[in-house]
Amino acid sequence: MFELLLTDPKSKARRGRLTTSHGIIETPVFMPVGTQASVKALDNRELLEMDTQIILGNTYHLSIRPGMEIIEAAGGLHSFMNWKSPILTDSGGFQVFSLAKIRKIKNNGVEFRSHLDGSLLFLGPQESMAIQRKLGSDIAMAFDECPAHDSSPRELQAAIDRTIRWAKECRVQPRAEGQLVFGISQGGINPRLRERCTKEIVSLDFDGYAIGGVSVGEPEPEMMFAVDITEPFLPKNKVRYAMGLGTPSQMVELIARGVDMFDCVLPTRIARNGTAYTRKGTVNIKAGYAKSDFHPIEEGCTCFACRNHTRAYIRHLLNVNEILGLKLMSIHNSHFYLQLMKEIRTHLENGTFSDFRKEFVANYVPSERVRAMSKNVTLPPITAIKSTHKGKIAKAKKTKAPSTVKTSKATKNIKGKQVKKQIGPKPTNISEPLKHSNNES
């Protein structure tokens, strides 16, 4: 399914081709995130115009709303959202650990309370794979446990044990026709654990491999290190996916380290807060200087926003809370990511990737604010580890709801309530706060 076309002579960067049920994906590739069956503020035409090859959907969110009954009745996720190109679905593991209220980790999955209404749910490898089979995604992800980056060695070890056990279960579950399944490596920045976990996962012979446990609040050097200690144990003939990453310069560096696939909410999330990517870093389009800046967000950019509108106009739209402002910003930032991947593929083909990498990373100076944002996803600590397994159904048996529901840090931003601590410009009533939110992850 994956064809390695060439490897860069001066780095580990790879140019490849992944064949899926809904089409061929040229790698390296960036996958816009459509958590709730919509890439925020963009329609399918806009996505295709900016060279989107594949989008993400999310098991956890979609199984809650609209629910699998409706997506099945629609004929799967492609049909439900009328997206004819490939879709990768996340397993829901990350969301269960980052968004769910109070949860109990059990042998065969996690019992947790919905971040929306507190109802008791159960998600494990069998349930996740069954949902992804019904979603009919081209690529399903194994259900893993994603420990926080500051987990204790004992917690990390336990998480890896479960991740491996669950991967084995995922591997043997029935799939949708032609569906690929990717295994996920965990292990934080512990080389021994990463090696063990990666080798075990690879031994299961998945269609591709993801490096998990990154984009969970760790500093950038730790994230790079996690990839560095994982990559050597990944087979060359399978595609590699760094989950939840990253900034433009991070992606360039990760490609140089042998990663092929990326997904990240940053482009659309920071867009809605007025921050735009340029080749020289990020700029704040809501700032005062932009009031009468009659240039496009970036000179030479071929996106719909830059071809048609000025910073001054977009700044005005953001300032008066017009939805169009959010869309134009989201188009620009998503286009920036996709265009970057396209360029990198060309440089790999031309043998000029290393020069490009040096130049790009030297020129690209992200603001402190965006640096902070890209690290601002924190997983709550594991609260309870139990080894009893009550049932295999996704909806757990109705038990007495606890009178006080503990709310993890990551769930404070529910139902549009804005978190108090706010990074960056004052939020509008349309935009979401920058903090890792329940809607897009």
Residue choice 41, 129, 164, 341 for contact with a copy of itself (CB under 8 A): 41
Could you tell me how many helices (H) and strands (E) the chain has, helices first? Answer: 16, 16
- Whichever of 126 and 437 has its CB closer to a copy of itself, that residue is 437
Q: Which of 144, 260, 263, 293 is catalytic?
A: 263
291 is an interface residue for a copy of itself by CB under 8 A:
yes
172 is an interface residue for a copy of itself by CB under 8 A:
no
225 is an interface residue for a copy of itself by CB under 8 A:
no
User: Shortest Cβ distance from residue 5 to a copy of itself (Å)?
Assistant: 34
427 is an interface residue for a copy of itself by CB under 8 A:
no
Listed ranges 36-44, 90-98, 152-160, 211-219: which one lies at the site for a copy of itself (CB under 8 A): 36-44
Q: Considering Cα of 268, then 293, then 302, then 81, what sign does the dihedral take?
A: positive
308 is an interface residue for a copy of itself by CB under 8 A:
yes
114 is an interface residue for a copy of itself by CB under 8 A:
no
429 is an interface residue for a copy of itself by CB under 8 A:
yes
Radius of gyration of the CA atoms of the chain, in A: 21
Please give the Cα distance from 200 to 335 (Å, whole number).
37
439 is an interface residue for a copy of itself by CB under 8 A:
yes
- Whichever of 196 and 327 has its CB closer to a copy of itself, that residue is 327
320 is an interface residue for a copy of itself by CB under 8 A:
yes
Please give the Cα distance from 89 to 281 (Å, whole number).
30
- Whichever of 225 and 304 has its CB closer to a copy of itself, that residue is 304
Q: CA-based diameter of the chain, in Å?
A: 63
Q: Which of 90, 138, 207, 293 is catalytic?
A: 90
329 is an interface residue for a copy of itself by CB under 8 A:
no
Interface pattern 68-87 for a copy of itself (x via CB under 8 A): -xx--xx-----xxx-----
Site size toward a copy of itself, by CB under 8 A: 46
Listed ranges 23-31, 42-50, 281-289, 385-393: which one lies at the site for a copy of itself (CB under 8 A): 42-50
Closest residue by Cα to residue 166 from 103, 235, 101, 93: 93
What b/e string do you get for 55-94 counting C-beta neighbours within 10 Å, with b at 16 or more?
bbbbbbbbbbeeebeebeebebbbebbebebbbbbbbbbb
CA dist list (Å): 378 to 1, 85, 372, 408, 410: 34, 32, 12, 10, 7
- Cβ contacts of residue 54 below 8 Å, gap of 6+? 20, 25, 29, 31, 85, 86, 87, 88, 138, 139
Closest residue by Cα to residue 144 from 130, 165, 127: 165
User: Shortest Cβ distance from residue 92 to a copy of itself (Å)?
Assistant: 16
- Whichever of 307 and 421 has its CB closer to a copy of itself, that residue is 307
Contact 181, 207 (CB under 8 A): yes
User: Shortest Cβ distance from residue 344 to a copy of itself (Å)?
Assistant: 29
- Whichever of 86 and 325 has its CB closer to a copy of itself, that residue is 325
327 is an interface residue for a copy of itself by CB under 8 A:
yes
Question: Looking at residue 298, what DSSP letter applies?
Answer: S
- Whichever of 211 and 290 has its CB closer to a copy of itself, that residue is 290
40 is an interface residue for a copy of itself by CB under 8 A:
yes
Query: Which bin fits 53, alpha (ψ -120 to 50), beta or left (φ > 0)?
Result: alpha
Annotated active-site residue 90? The verdict is yes
Alpha helices in 87-232 (DSSP H): 93-98, 125-135, 153-172, 191-203, 220-230
User: Shortest Cβ distance from residue 320 to a copy of itself (Å)?
Assistant: 5
Pairing of strands 208-211, 239-242: parallel
* H or E element that contains 272: helix 266-272
- Whichever of 38 and 367 has its CB closer to a copy of itself, that residue is 38
Q: Which two tokens stand for residue 379?
A: 């997983």
48 is an interface residue for a copy of itself by CB under 8 A:
no
289 is an interface residue for a copy of itself by CB under 8 A:
no
3-state secondary structure 339-375: HHHHHHHHHHHHCCHHHHHHHHHHHCCCCHHHHHHHC
Contact 30, 17 (CB under 8 A): no
- Whichever of 82 and 399 has its CB closer to a copy of itself, that residue is 82
| Catalytic center residues | 90, 263
Interface residues toward a copy of itself, by CB under 8 A: 36-38, 40-45, 61, 65-66, 69-70, 73-74, 80-82, 291-292, 294, 304, 308-310, 312-313, 315-317, 319-328, 416, 428-430, 439
